[in-house]
């Protein structure tokens, strides 16, 4: 295992002591090895703010008549695809499939950019949908405070990545907190409007203190976000 990178692809004996070669093939691990890990940089949202956002989301879903059952939050037939709330984050740069041999230098970039930054406050307020509430592909909460600081950290990452051979990110940086994907869901516009109405009085402020390189794991349900490398802002 390379230093600083938490390996998610392991072959360990099972609870009955079976050897790795006796285990069924791990198709997800094979896919990741062939295509590279789907990685991105982000600022994670702390647990107390996650709880506030979860309460907002559950209120929107309950108003819409969508069942919310236990921690799994079962999705209704007409519901949009809500993200895992335990992995909420503000994305700064998405790289996509990346070979394992590039991960150490990305980890070094995390530490360098974090050391050159300082903790700052972020306030979530307002909601919307991309590209529009009438034809939404994603539902999100807005960032009302901390946009300048988030943009500065994103710019620092962009410079570090260009130095490592990645192209610069030409897209305008628009910090937001993605809550749901709604491609092709008939209820998407209705839920977008309900979320926007519910968020009119919503505000949650938190302290951004960490920069993280995440891996996105797909398959078997909603994507999971596993931290590979993280560093505190300000060192």
Confirm whether 176 is a catalytic residue.
yes
User: Among 32, 73, 93, 176, which one carries the catalytic annotation?
Assistant: 176
User: Among 89, 93, 181, 210, which one carries the catalytic annotation?
Assistant: 89
Confirm whether 111 is a catalytic residue.
no
**For residues 80 and 131, what is the distance between their CA atoms, to the nearest angstrom?**
15
**Phi-psi group of 165: left, alpha or beta (phi > 0 → left; psi -120 to 50 → alpha; rest → beta):** left
Q: What is residue 3's three-state secondary structure?
A: coil
| Residue 96 main-chain phi, psi, to 5 deg | 80, -160
Is the Cβ–Cβ distance between 43 and 143 less than 8 Å?
A: no
Buried b (16+ CB within 10 A) or exposed e, 87-97: bbbbbbbebee
Structure token digits, residue 11? 């072959």
Angle between the N-to-C axes of helices 47-63 and 188-198, in degrees from 0 to 180, rounded to the nearest 10: 120
Q: What is residue 196's three-state secondary structure?
A: helix
Active-site positions? Answer: 89, 176
């Amino acid at each position: 295992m390379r230093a600083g990178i938490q390996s998610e692809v392991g072959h360990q004996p099972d609870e009955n002591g079976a050897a790795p070669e006796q285990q069924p093939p791990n198709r997800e691990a094979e896919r990741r090895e062939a295509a590279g890990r789907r990685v991105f940089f982000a600022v994670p949202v702390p647990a107390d703010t996650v709880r506030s956002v979860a309460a907002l989301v559950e209120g929107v879903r309950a108003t819409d008549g969508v069942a919310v059952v236990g921690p799994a939050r079962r999705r209704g037939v007409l519901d949009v695809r809500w993200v895992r709330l335990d992995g909420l984050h503000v994305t700064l740069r998405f790289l996509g499939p990346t070979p394992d041999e590039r991960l150490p230098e990305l980890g070094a970039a995390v530490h360098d950019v974090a050391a050159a930054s300082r903790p700052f406050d972020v306030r979530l307020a307002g909601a919307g949908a991309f590209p529009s509430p009438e034809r939404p592909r994603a539902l999100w909460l807005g960032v009302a405070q901390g946009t300048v600081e988030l943009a500065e950290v994103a710019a620092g990452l962009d410079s570090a990545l260009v130095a490592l051979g990645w192209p610069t990110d030409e897209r305008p940086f628009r910090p937001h907190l993605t809550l749901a994907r709604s491609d092709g869901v008939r209820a998407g516009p209705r839920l977008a409007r309900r979320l926007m109405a519910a968020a009119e009085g919503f505000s949650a402020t938190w302290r951004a203190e960490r920069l993280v390189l995440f891996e996105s794991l797909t398959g078997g349900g909603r994507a999971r976000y596993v931290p590979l490398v993280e560093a505190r802002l300000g060192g």
